[in-house]
Structure 1
Amino acid sequence: MDDFLGIYLRDQLAMGVLWRELARRAQRNNRGTELGDVLDGVATAIAEDVETFRSIMDRVGARANPVKTGLAFGAERLGRLKRNGRLTSYSPLSRFEELEFLAMGIDGKKQLWTTLRDLAGLGARLPDIDFDHLIDRAARQRADLEPFRARAGTEAFTRATAGGSSGAAPRGARPR
C-alpha cells in the first residue's frame, strides 16, 4: 500500500472518531427533542461509517494508528471545556457549534468517500463497497441537520445581539 494513502486513511479515521463522539454528545445534549431524534440517526450512521471505514482500511492493509485516534478522542473531550457563554449549562451557542462542527464533518466525510472512490481508486479495488451510497447517505445526513443548524445559529446570535438568554431551545428542538 502507498505510504501517502496509509497516512491519509489514518488521519481520516481519527477525524471520523472525533465526529462520532461529537455526534453522540450532541445527541445526548438534545435528547427528548426533535433535534435529538435526528441526531440519534446521524450519530448511529456516523458510527456505522467509522466501522465501514475501518473495514476498508483492513482490506487495503492500512493499520489504524492508536495514537492518532486517541488524540482525536481526547480532542473531542477537551472541546467540552470551551466557553459557551454559560458556566455550568448547555447554551444556545453550544448547540449551534455542535451542529456547525457536525455539518463540517459530514461534508468532509462526503468528500472522503468521493476521494476514495475516484482519486485513490478504491472504487475499482473494492467493487463491493458502494461509495455512491455512502456519498448519498452523507448528503442526507447533512440535509437532515441543516434546518436545525440554521435555527440554532439564529437562536444563538439573536440572543447574543439582544443581550438576553432565556434558555429555551430553538424551534424544532422542543421537548416532546
Structure 2
Amino acid sequence: MHRDKLGIYLNDHLAGATFGIGLAQRIAHQHRHSARSADLQRICDEIAQDRQSLLEVMDALGVPARRYKVYGGWAAERLGRLKPNGVLYRRSGLSTLIELETLRLGVEGKTLIWRTLLVVAAGEPRLDESRLHNLLDRARGQIDTLETLRLTAAEAVFSPRAGSVPPDSP
C-alpha cells in the first residue's frame, strides 16, 4: 500500500510539473524582451530539469509515469490561459501578476515533494539525499527570484504610478 500511495503522490507532482513547464515557458516567452528575461528563462530551464529529476526518481523507485496525469497537467495549463484578465484582446499586467503567483505556488509545491522525498530517503537507499537537498535548495532560489518578479509586477499593476509602468514588465 505504501508503494501505491507513493506512486500516486509522485504522479500528482508530475502532473503539476507538466503544468509548471507550460506556464514557465509562456511567461518566459511573453517577457523575452524584458530586463528580467534571463531570470525567467533560467527558471523555465530549471523547472524542466526538475521535472526530469522527478522522472528519474520515479524510475529509480520503479514508479511508472501515468500518462493521463501528464496529459491532465498539460491540459490544465492550456485551459488556464482562458482566464479573463480585464482586457479583451491582449494581455494585461494582471495576467503577468497572476501567472507569476501561480508559478510561485507551483515551485512552493515542488519544495514539498523534495522535502517529502527526503523523509522517504531515510529508509530508501535508491534515493540520493544529497541530490534531493540540491533540488530543494534550487527550488528555494526559484521562489526568491519569483517573489522579486511578483512584487515588481504587483507594483506595476497596483501602484499609483501604474500607468507609467509597462503592464507586462516583471
TM-score by length of structure 1 reads 0.87
Distance 2:123 2:17 in 1: 18
Corresponding residue SS for 1:118: helix
Change (3 A) 1:84 1:170: closer
- Aligned residue number for residue 108 of structure 1: 109
| Cα deviations by residue, 1:78-121 (Å, 9 ceiling, x for unpaired) | 11111011111111000001110111111111111011111464
Q: Does structure 1 residue 168 correspond to structure 2 residue 153?
A: no
Give the AA of the match of 1:11. Answer: D
Deviation at 1:153, TM superposition (A): 1.5
Decide whether the 8 Å contact of 2:118 with 2:129 is kept in 1.
no
Decide whether the 8 Å contact of 1:116 with 1:122 is kept in 2.
no
Change (3 A) 1:3 1:128: same
Give the AA of the match of 1:100. Answer: E
Change (3 A) 1:58 1:46: same
Distance 2:44 2:123 in 1: 25
Matches within 5 A, 1:1-176: 2-119=3-120, 121=122, 124-127=125-128, 130-158=131-159, 168-169=166-167, 173=170
Distance 1:134 1:13 in 2: 15
Identity over the aligned pairs, expressed in percent?
Answer: 36
TM-score by length of structure 2 reads 0.90
| Cα deviations by residue, 1:124-173 (Å, 9 ceiling, x for unpaired) | 432376111111100111111211101212222347xx9x85671466x4
Decide whether the 8 Å contact of 1:151 with 1:170 is kept in 2.
no
Distance 1:155 1:123 in 2: 47
| Cα deviations by residue, 1:1-47 (Å, 9 ceiling, x for unpaired) | 71100100110100011011100001111111123221100000000
Corresponding residue SS for 1:67: helix
Corresponding residue SS for 1:34: coil
Distance 1:122 1:70 in 2: 32
Structure 2: give runs of 5+ residues left out of the alignment.
none
